[in-house]
A = this chain, B = another copy of it.
Amino acid sequence: MDHRDFYRGRKVLVTGGLGFIGSNLCRALADLGASVTAVDSLLPDYGGNPFNLDGYEDRVRINIADVRGHGMEYLLRGQDVLFNLAGQVSHIDSMTDPVTDLEINCTSQLRVLEAVRRGNPGLKIVYAGTRQVYGRPRHLPVSEDHILQPVDVNGINKISGESYHLVYHQVYGIRASSLRLTNTYGPRQLIRHNRQGFIGWFIRKAAFGEKIQIFGDGLQKRDFNHVADVVDAFLRAGACDAVDGQAINLGGDEPVALRELADLLLEVAGSGGYELVPFPPERKRIDSGDFHAGITRARALPEGQPRVPLRQGLEETVAYYRRNREHYL
């Protein structure tokens, strides 16, 4: 069965469903005929945005709730698949308010898993992990068995959140896996502030004719995924039993230096500019340096759609934000 057919008529819950990746996933699931519930807390300064489900209000059930609290027991009951994407994603915020990061990225994960174990142990779960669990790479590309030595509190807590899923698989047979995301870009990302990763911020600057500031020499390389490719990977993992108990890198294409990325963005946008500025010390201390994910394990997933090329993805993304500026700024 094609993994897209798998979702027709399935009951699917997406935590962080009004966020960047979550909302794109909800839209895709609704298009595939799934019965979708989006859970989101809409915390200020986080990625949740009601406009992200614009046009899908009739096809996605929106439930505002904080995953840290109780109540997930009820929402999880009777679901077939959980895409577990709710999280605190700002690395810089995890250092200024580490306990909140812990509550969202750890406590809530344990509550969800306990609710699953007690109330819906057959549920299929795909968790949104992150490349940040590796810290500063010791070698490139970074495969899944690279040592985990995160450079900030968010990285530590994301290891826990992922590990709980894998231990609940090991101990209780819960059908959970984790996709370790690298830099993801595309429509519906938070671009109001620059504390949730640089890529959305760069896109905003280019789209609206402002100057991009690149920290350091701009030669640091990163890999990128368009959100449509990430959504496709979640759909493939959710329909695939072979991934249960595993953590899998979702690597991007060839790594790109930040300067090259900025050049491409400015060309695509036809506006903006960039300058190199020294790293602010609080950023430098938690910067991971060059990163490029190894993707051997991802080959175990069912085959996906053709990848969105970087230039095309950036073009569409810039156009999206220009079209919907008032909903994102």
Contacts and interface: CB of A to CB of B under 8 A. Distances in A.
Interface of A: 95, 98-99, 102, 106-107, 110-111, 113-114, 145, 147-148, 150-153, 156-157, 159-160, 163-164, 167, 170-171, 285-286
A50 to B, nearest CB: 30
Nearest to A98: B110
Given A102-B110, A156-B160, A285 B150 contact: no
B163 A167 contact: no
B163 A286 contact: no
A94 to B, nearest CB: 10
Contacts of A102: 102, 106-107, 110
A283 B152 CA distance: 33
Given A145-B147, A163-B150, A167-B153, A114 B98 contact: yes
A163 B156 contact: yes
A313 B44 CA distance: 58
Copies of this polypeptide in the complex: 2
A76 B286 CA distance: 26
10 contacts: A98-B114, A99-B110, A110-B153, A148-B148, A153-B167, A156-B160, A156-B164, A159-B159, A170-B285, A171-B285
Given A102-B106, A114-B98, A153 B164 contact: yes
- 7 cross-chain pairs, A with B, having the tightest CB-CB distances, nearest first: A156-B163, A171-B285, A98-B110, A160-B160, A156-B160, A99-B110, A102-B106
B98 A160 contact: no
Most chain B CB within a 10 A radius of its CB, from A102, A111, A285: A102
A33 B151 CA distance: 38
B156 A170 contact: no
A240 to B, nearest CB: 22
Contacts of A95: 171
A68 to B, nearest CB: 11
Contacts of A111: 99
A107 B106 CA distance: 10
A167 to B, nearest CB: 6
A160 B98 CA distance: 12
Nearest to A101: B110
A201 to B, nearest CB: 22
Most chain B CB within a 10 A radius of its CB, from A148, A163, A285: A163
A160 to B, nearest CB: 5
Nearest to A163: B156
A55 B85 CA distance: 54
Contacts of A98: 110, 113-114, 164
A307 B171 CA distance: 37
A102 B170 CA distance: 19
A141 B157 CA distance: 28
A285 B170 CA distance: 8
A107 B153 CA distance: 12
Nearest to A114: B98
